[in-house]
Chains A and B, each alone.
Chain A
């Protein structure tokens, strides 16, 4: 049986933990707000870009640019976004599970990984996979520059034939409570739902200026950048959301634990007092 002192010590330590989790929750809430603003601001551009690429890819012939060309799927590149830090509930394990599933489903192809975020890098380093590159997100807010670097690496590897297909896995930010891992095909660029596009596509062919090739050559790499950037922002917002929720429940659990321990503590204290009283009374009786 734990002594009164032991219990007191435990209560104190749990209280300290609760303070930390509470602080982390506050910090995440503030960061989440900012990340959320950023992602809502960036979504229109990314969606417009997707729309544009969609209508473009359904109209342009697949051999007009290397990034449109379908070369099969012998060598697949997988860009996996995770967070740098833990303590955010099941956030990273969800992403890693999704990646594992993807790898299993495509086991016939040679898969190389491009890992963004420390957690994913640490996880896959211990396993035998071909790792193309691993980078950390770093502190502060995710910048467009980082997305450009990721996009350049991936497009470079794709252009010189190291990869035939590139997929990305990131966490889509729905709300602070829900984040869903998403697998998306990045390269080659294909029209999303190209069949239905053609039906309402009474728009006919585009006029291109300066030329179809020039427009595609500048637009397609841009598209990859934008997608990489969006994934970065979505993942970052999701991470903060996940951390906030998990820290909130951790604080709640700590509170519950403190309640329980305090109850035990009081009961023990009361028992000790009663016992002491009994002893005194017993002693007084004996003296009579």
Chain B
């Protein structure tokens, strides 16, 4: 059995990450989950949040918008609409995004189909800020 898992993070615009890691934590729709090598096959939707991976003593963190994760014993594939690593995130841009999304949220009723999308936007912006604060 493999000791490490291959973590792949892809967005429609690019392949962000592909490397062997020891452990991944990802934000599932029903709560965060951690993955180690030998995990049972598992398929879930992701909510916007942070993905943390660890290789030895090195950790990496990324902000992702909603998407999917496929977990296999030796491989984890994460498909998201958008993702940014900590070095790519601009605090300023994330703040403006957050502000915009929150304003849009106030104007929408809860039944509006755009409501859930806007909440995701808020959460994605918040996740970006959280990732930035970790540093």
Contacts and interface: CB of A to CB of B under 8 A. Distances in A.
Interface of A: 38, 41-42, 44-46, 48-49, 51-52, 56, 144, 203-210, 214-215, 218-219, 222, 226, 229
A41 B79 CA distance: 14
A91 B30 CA distance: 48
A184 to B, nearest CB: 18
Contact of B43 (A51, A204, A209): A209
B77 A52 contact: yes
B29 A209 contact: yes
A236 B42 CA distance: 36
B1 interface: no
Contacts, number: 69
Interface string B32-49: 010000001111110000
Given A52-B68, A52-B79, A210-B29, A45 B45 contact: no
Interface in B50-92: 68, 70, 72-73, 77, 79
A215 B43 contact: yes
B64 to A, nearest CB: 13
Interface majority SS on A: helix, strand, loop or mixed? helix
A48 B12 contact: no
A44 B43 contact: no
Contacts of A56: 43
Contacts of B14: 41, 44
Interface of B: 8, 10-15, 28-30, 33, 40-45, 68, 70, 72-73, 77, 79
A191 B23 CA distance: 30
A144 B72 CA distance: 29
A92 B29 CA distance: 44
A48 B17 CA distance: 13
Contacts of B73: 203
A44 B77 CA distance: 11
Given A48-B10, A219-B45, 11 more contacts: A41-B14, A42-B12, A45-B13, A45-B79, A204-B41, A206-B42, A208-B43, A209-B30, A210-B30, A215-B44, A218-B68
A215 B45 contact: yes
A51 B70 CA distance: 10
B73 to A, nearest CB: 8
Contacts of B68: 52, 215, 218-219, 222
